[in-house]
Amino acid sequence: MLRITMVKPRILILCTGNSCRSHLAEGILRQAAGDFLEVASAGSKPAGFVHPLAIRAMKEIGIDISEHTSKSMNDFLGSQIETVITVCGNADQACPVFPGQVNRHHWPFDDPAHATGTEEEQMEVFRRVRDEIKKVFEAYADGRRDAIRAGKSK
Q: Which residues are catalytic?
A: 15, 88, 95
Distance from C-alpha of 122 to C-alpha of 141, rounded to nearest angstrom:
28
What is the side-by-side order of every strand in the sheet holding 103-106? 38-43, 10-15, 83-86, 103-106
Identify the burial level of 90 via C-beta atoms within 10 angstroms of its C-beta, where 0-12 means exposed, 13-18 middle and 19 or more buried.
middle
Instruction: Choose among 61, 107, 75, 94: nearest CA to 10.
Output: 75
